[in-house]
Amino acid sequence: MEPLVRLHGITVRYDGRRNGGLVAITDVDLDIYQGEVVGIVGKSGSGKTTLLKVLAGLIRPVKGEVVFNNHKLNGNSFRVGVLFQSPLLLPWRTVIKNILLPIEVLGEDVSKYLSRALELIEKVGLKGFENSYPWELSGGMQQRVALCRALIHRPSLLLLDEPFSSLDAITREEMWMLLQDVISHEGCTTVLVTHDVREAVLLCDRVVVIGGKPGRVRAEVRVDFKRPRDLKLQYTKEFNDYVVMVRGLLGD
Amino acid sequence: MRLSRSRTLNSLVVLVFICVVWELVVDLLSIPQYILPTPTSIASTTIKYYDYLLRNLLDTSIHALVGLALAATFSLAISLPLAYSEVVRDTVYPLITGFNAIPRAALVPLLALWFGLGSMPKILTAFLIAFFPVLVPTLTAMVTIEKELWELLMSFGATKTQILIKVGIPRAMPYFLSSLHMGLTSSFVGTVIAEMVASDSGLGYVILSSTSRLDTALAFSCLILLALITFVLSKVLSVVERRVVGWAYRVST
Ligand SMILES: Nc1ncnc2c1ncn2[C@@H]1O[C@H](COP(=O)(O)OP(=O)(O)O)[C@@H](O)[C@H]1O
Ligand SMILES: [Mg+2]
């Protein structure tokens, strides 16, 4: 089977004013298949966000290529939905208007996406909050709105960069289940960047470990639990074996 | 609401107290009225010249507000290209800052030379003093969009123009409107200065002519009216702010 997205030999350098720039990641190969949930774990500064931004078309690598459905790309020409750690909602827009922002920007007919927006809002449990403003919502609720915004335009690839790390433990577990639910409902291919190994093992089909300076792919671990997974899975031996293995690969 | 009403009452009590002390001090020390008029004589002067003062107050206000409107429009119009292009910004902004360093009051005689003694110098001085304090916060808000938000918008293909329209402008609105408070006082200062130097109407002119006649009470009337009108207009502006950019005042974290 051909991958949906193939990264080949990706190297990214940030131009610094001093010391002639910094190579953040080098020679990264990564295949992402249709419908898969891929986790990317690594320590802080290992280049996870950089890799995600390459996938989002936000950073042009100095070396290597991005191949989408067998087409070589320069710049992004497939649709991505991005969710960062902070929800980044526009405070002057209501929930529904925030969610429809990508549609406006893409220049598509907003009225055609209204029912989809409402459906997503219901899916993430925010029915009744369509016309609320972001400040009227809790952090977890705001992040759920941001998730809807990342999905509204039916992206080929959903990119999540430590999306739950600013939430409290209980809300985070809720969000794990919600995300799993939404991903399987939408059937979208997902890349989840995280430094939380438990989160990666619980949610992903495959965990890619990156590390070193500059960052490289150290290992890949296939997680053989079938989806949907239950929070209780965390307390099983098999789960902890995975966690211990991935932690080991992270190195020190 | 009740709290703010009682605070208003407190302010009024303090104001009355100051007036009483003022009155007594002038009386007891027998300070001549042309040096420091008593509040009661200022009040009676105001009533006596009511029509005359009102006419000139209107005159000053209209010129100041036209100047402010020009400053607001110009600031908004120029902040868009400045926010859009770093090259334009780096070229034009230092020039604007440099111009702002000129004491604008010193330009009034020139303006009078070029435009005569009519309305033009009054409006232009108001404009020249008011536009900088309006431009700076508006432009700053437009160019300080968080990097992550910028990247988020780019991720679904937003162009620079779209980001400026969808995020830059709405984001700048609260800063723009609140800067109009500063612009308001600045534009009145500008108009009054122009009236003192190059006009025969408006409160600035009345202040100048009344002090030269040692009719100090009348000058005080003008000062109080100027304070009152900017206070009232500022309140009106606050109401508009709450209506238009109420979201900016409710963000809870
Ligand atoms: N915009 C940037 N300019 C310069 N260096 C950067 C920039 N962004 C990230 N870096 C550097 O690149 C490396 C990888 O960063 P990042 O991809 O953010 O790592 P992670 O997300 O895994 O914490 C770090 O050493 C970081 O300091
Ligand atoms: Mg990161």
The complex scores an ipTM of: 0.92
**Do the beta carbons of residue A65 and residue A12 sit within 8 Å?**
no
H helices of A63-168, in order, are 95-99, 101-106, 114-123, 139-151
pLDDT tens digits, one per residue of B82-96: 999 999 999 999 999
Question: Could you say which architecture CATH assigns to the domain B52-246?
Answer: Orthogonal Bundle (1.10)
Give me the residue from B162, B167, B252 closest to A135, CB to CB: B252
- Segment (H or E) for A54: helix A48-55
How many angstroms does the Cα of residue A81 sit away from the middle of ligand 1?
21
Residues of chain A with Cβ-Cβ distance to B171 below 8 Å are 92
The mean pLDDT of chain A is: 93
Using CA atoms, how far apart are residues A136 and A159, in angstroms rounded to an integer? 26
Q: Where are the domains of chain B?
A: 52-246
A46 lines ligand 1 (CB under 6 A): yes
A209 lines ligand 1 (CB under 6 A): no
Q: How confident is the model at residue A251 (pLDDT cuts 50, 70, 90)?
A: confident
Per the CB < 8 Å rule, is A133 touching B250? Answer: yes
pLDDT tens digits, one per residue of A154-209: 999 999 999 999 999 999 999 999 999 999 999 999 999 999 999 999 999 999 99
| The pLDDT of residue B41 | 94
pLDDT tens digits, one per residue of A3-19: 999 999 999 999 877 76
Q: What is the mean pLDDT of each run of 10 residues along chain B (253 residues)?
A: 76 94 93 93 95 97 98 96 95 93 92 92 96 95 95 94 96 96 96 94 95 94 96 95 88 49
A21 lines ligand 1 (CB under 6 A): no
Q: What pTM was estimated for this model as a whole?
A: 0.89
Through-space distance between the first and last CA atoms of chain B, rounded to whole angstroms: 24
Interface of B with A in 172-211 (CB under 8 A): 173
